[in-house]
Amino acid sequence: MSLNNNLWWCKNCGVPLLKQKCENCGSIGKKICSDLKPMFKEECEFLEKETNKELPGKNWKDRLWMRYKTIWFNGKRLLRFSANGKPTVIKEYLNRDSSPKHCITPKILYKANKSALDELEKEAISFIKEIIKSYPERKPIVSFSGGKDSTVVSSLVRKALETDGILHIFGNTTIEYPDTLNYIKKFFGNNIRIPFQENSSSHTFLEMCKLIEPPSRINAWCCSVFKGTPIATVVNRINGNRGVISFEGIRKSESTRRMNRQRIYFNKKIVHQLSAYPILEWREIDVWLYILSMGLDFNDAYNKGFNRVGCLYCPNNTPYNEYLIKIYCPEQSKKWYNFLVQYAKKIGKGDPQEYVESGAWKMRVGKSIGKSAAYIDKKPCTDGENINNYTLPKSFRSEDFLERFKPFGKIIKIKDPIGYSYLVKDQHKGIPLFIFQGVDGFNRLRISLLVNSGRKRLLSAVERAIRRLQVCILCGACTGICPTGAIKINPHFKIKTNNCIHCGKCSSTKFIKFSCVSLNSQQQSRRFSNVNRV
């Protein structure tokens, strides 16, 4: 819940107000804008140095706040600077206010907004209690990213349950801000009663980028591989099939993608997780007023001016965030820049530096060069209308296909004097579905469909399974959607027959696009003109 979309300013107390009347001095505030964030000492000093403009204060306690890239002083606009990389002043506003006469304290901030902050807290706590009551079989946890929003959610959940004994899970993407890792260590060092589990992918980010190509805004595969999968691994062993309620610091105002989020969400990529968002409707100002007035510690990256503290190499990073990364994380920034330049050269860009520095790499749709590894040559067989012959880019063993076809049903070996031949039957109805045949050491496969009803859908699912085998990079993204933990990557792709219930989730496109992170990247590549390429 959010109180409204308005914000006022009390000039007497020098603080933003969530309600028009200041509860500290009783005066009526002046309406200013819809959102603000506090400015901090290190951020102010950095901007003064970069823009060569002296600010009338050193932080929010001196009445300095910011909305986007406009600095507000004592409730009035002071100056606006560019957000495209290096900050430069592009407009100065007439602001005759002198330096503040007194320093603002967290106590004043809270007293001025007491009823509003109490209302926000009360409603969020009520929501948390109600969700836990509604799903008593699920174990409550906190998904803790180290950002300001998850810090607030952690505080709210612990208040709601009146205990620190709520498990916090941190999915380490391996490309976190150094300040985030320091804050995680500090937070749990200061809160030793909070149970904590951290997990990360067994792959490195750059290693995956070489296999799939760098993520883009359209194809952000990195979220599934480096965030979703490590968290799913922990979640799936916490409470078995009964699952968890994961309280997360997701807010609608963070991005257009989150605008239509509901307050609870049965996570598609982490099958045993019910995600709940106590502060979904909160604005940035709501979050910061709560943090500052309650005296909560927070990630030091915000002190430096970072607005969000996700991943260092995120394609959704703003140019200003990237500029700050160059300043505060020069080694990581240079490493990523050099990687992107080499990638740009590899795909034949005329000016690799321009391609990288302009941010064009972020707008890629999919694979940029060469024939897709998911390509298969399909030809109808003259032996029957429901039989197709496939020529694959490379040969696979019969064992490889067996693992990929296990989710379709029971597999029965058929005598074949030339190679291998298997019948796949529906596990629940006992109906024969298809036969697959081939010869080990050759790259040809024959699929013979044995059903008429739903034939097109079945063939599409079978062909996706073949493509997934071709492009699999063992990222583990598919493990999170399996409700019984049947899919294992250790070190090869395996499906535990006794665990598989043939639910079809791993072959469905509803949970992961094209049912595979790597396949999704390949399928978004340019289309080839040959009509037989499927």
Model confidence over 111-128: pLDDT tens digits?
Answer: 999 999 999 999 999 999
More confident residue, 476 or 96: 476
Q: Is 486 in a helix, a strand, or coil? A: coil
- pLDDT value at residue 414: 93
- pLDDT value at residue 524: 60
Least confident stretch, 88-102, 345-359, 483-497 = 88-102
CB atoms within 10 A of CB 379: 10
**Among 259-263, 322-326, 473-477, which range has the highest average pLDDT?**
322-326
More confident residue, 508 or 285: 285
- pLDDT value at residue 394: 85
- pLDDT value at residue 15: 95
- pLDDT value at residue 373: 66
> What's the start-to-end Cα distance of the chain, in Å?
48
Checking if the pLDDT of 500 tops 50, the result is yes
- CA dist 242 → 135, 235, 251 (Å): 10, 11, 27
Q: Is 78 in a helix, a strand, or coil? A: strand
Residue span(s) of the chain under CATH 3.40.50.620 come to: 113-204+221-301
Checking if the pLDDT of 529 tops 60, the result is no
What pTM, to 2 d.p., does this model score? Answer: 0.88
Residue with tokens 């469909």: 449
- 504-528 confidence digits (pLDDT tens): 888 888 888 888 888 887 766 443 3
Please list the alpha-helical segments (H only) found in 135-253. Answer: 148-161, 178-190, 205-212, 222-223, 229-238
More confident residue, 215 or 4: 215
228 residue type, one letter: G
Query: Smallest Cα–Cα separation from 462: which of 472, 475, 452, 448?
Result: 448
Share of the chain above pLDDT 70, in %: 94
- As a whole number of angstroms, the distance between CA 249 and CA 280 comes to 7
Assess if CATH 3.40.50.620 describes domain 113-204+221-301. Answer: yes
Checking if the pLDDT of 39 tops 60, the result is yes
- 428-467 confidence digits (pLDDT tens): 888 999 999 999 888 899 999 999 888 899 999 999 999 8
Contact 419, 440 (CB under 8 A): yes
- 134-184 confidence digits (pLDDT tens): 999 999 999 999 999 999 999 999 999 999 999 999 999 999 999 999 999
Residue 366's pLDDT band (cuts 50, 70, 90) = low
- 318-338 confidence digits (pLDDT tens): 889 999 999 999 999 999 999
Buried b (16+ CB within 10 A) or exposed e, 398-432: bebbbbbbbbbbbbeeeeeeeebbbbbbebeeeeb
- As a whole number of angstroms, the distance between CA 247 and CA 371 comes to 43
Least confident stretch, 6-10, 205-209, 372-376 = 372-376
- Gyration radius of the chain's alpha carbons: 27
- As a whole number of angstroms, the distance between CA 6 and CA 410 comes to 61
- As a whole number of angstroms, the distance between CA 289 and CA 38 comes to 9
- pLDDT value at residue 98: 67
Share of the chain above pLDDT 90, in %: 61
Question: Average pLDDT in the 473-479 region?
Answer: 87
- As a whole number of angstroms, the distance between CA 359 and CA 160 comes to 43
Classify domain 377-523 at the CATH topology level: TATA-Binding Protein (3.30.310)
- pLDDT value at residue 263: 92
Phi, psi of 446 (to 5 degrees): -115, 130
- pLDDT value at residue 531: 34
What DSSP line would sit under 29-51, residue for residue? PEE--S--EE--HHHHHHHHHHH
Q: Is 352 in a helix, a strand, or coil? A: helix
- pLDDT value at residue 181: 96
Widest CA span of the chain, in angstroms? Answer: 94
Residue span(s) of the chain under CATH 3.30.310 come to: 377-523
Token pair listed for 263: 């307050």
